Amino acid sequence: MALLTLPSFAKINWTLDVLGKRPDGYHELRTICQTVGLADYVAIELTSSPGIEVVCDGAGVAGGPTNLAHRAAAAFFEATGLAGTTGANIWIRKEVPAGAGLGGGSSNAATTLLGLERLAGLSLPGAMRFALARSLGADVPLFLIGGTVLGVGRGDEVYGLVDAPPASLVIANPGVHVPTADVFRRFRCELTAPDPVARLQSFVSALRFRDSLVSVGNDLEEAVVRDYPEVGDARAALLGAGAVQAWMTGSGASVVGIFEGAGSAVSAAEHLAEHGLWARAVETIDRIGYETALGF
């Protein structure tokens, strides 16, 4: 059958506000995410017999049933009634570091859902598509939209925003693994004492940026840097390389720096890489660019 290959873009968080603990045990979040031009590549083909096989070239990334793309395919076939008659072969070429706060696995899952839908010749209702994405993880739904995205609740209730202005970024990863569950378990809300009303007001103000990117930041950063000083060192390295602003994305360990232009970003990334830090210069991907790249 036909082979479909799609980019699977990473994301960064412009902001991540933690408002407190929810009754279900999760934390209430407000976050603005952005798709960026760092991508894995996912190749998918349908098979005429049941079964899912995922092959991934990423070091330390499993290709079996625990892989998010595998889980996404299984959920898709179950939800569409194709589980008994159709299968898939999926190949993933990794460029996005795993477990780095960049949503690589979540993006793979969303891309798999979109690719299977196209290959199967289906057009799922939006509510069904997003329900499938939410069942796979909090970051998966944002990759069904792309561009600049507001996430609320656990971060899995998402809304497309007016795109932030284009920006040249450098993403740096210090190479430490920061377990998300541990970060939230150790995060102390009293450190920030958020007032939900004030938080929302500042959040709405941040949505209006057009000339410059302000109000970036991450409530989890202090807790992560306390236990993983390498993250703070990477942030300092970005600022030392000329970043206008720098902060941690997601629950870590990657940090992001804003640069004045693409040339400055490329030079900074090369400088950091020469000194042993994984670093990539990227541009933001707006919603039209995202939809075009994935063939929406």
Residue 181: strand, helix, or coil:
helix
pLDDT score, position 19: 85
- Identify whether 11 is a catalytic site residue: yes
Q: Which of 11, 156, 219, 286 is catalytic?
A: 11
pLDDT score, position 198: 53
Residue 140: strand, helix, or coil:
coil
pLDDT score, position 190: 45
pLDDT score, position 147: 97
Structure tokens at 211: 């000339």
CATH number assigned to the domain covering 168-283: 3.30.70.890
Q: Which of 40, 139, 156, 163 is catalytic?
A: 139
DSSP string of 45-57?
EEESSSEEEEEE-
The CA distance from 220 to 248, in Å, is 8
**What residues have CB less than 8 Å from 197, skipping those under 6 apart?**
none
Residue ranges for the chain with pLDDT beneath 70? 1, 25, 188-214
pLDDT score, position 202: 57
Amino acid identity, residue 8? S
Report pTM. 0.92
Helix 104-119 / helix 126-136 crossing angle, nearest 10 deg: 140
- Identify whether 156 is a catalytic site residue: no
Query: For 257-270, what is each residue's pLDDT tens digit?
Result: 999 999 999 999 99
Bridge partners of residue 43, in order along the sequence: 5, 91
* Domain 3-19+33-146 matches domain 168-283 at the CATH topology level: no
User: Topology of domain 3-19+33-146, per CATH?
Assistant: Ribosomal Protein S5; domain 2 (3.30.230)
The CA distance from 91 to 108, in Å, is 10
Query: For 89-118, what is each residue's pLDDT tens digit?
Result: 999 999 999 989 999 999 999 999 999 999
Q: Parse the chain into domains and list their residue ranges.
A: 3-19+33-146, 168-283
Neighbours of 159 (CB within 10 A): 10
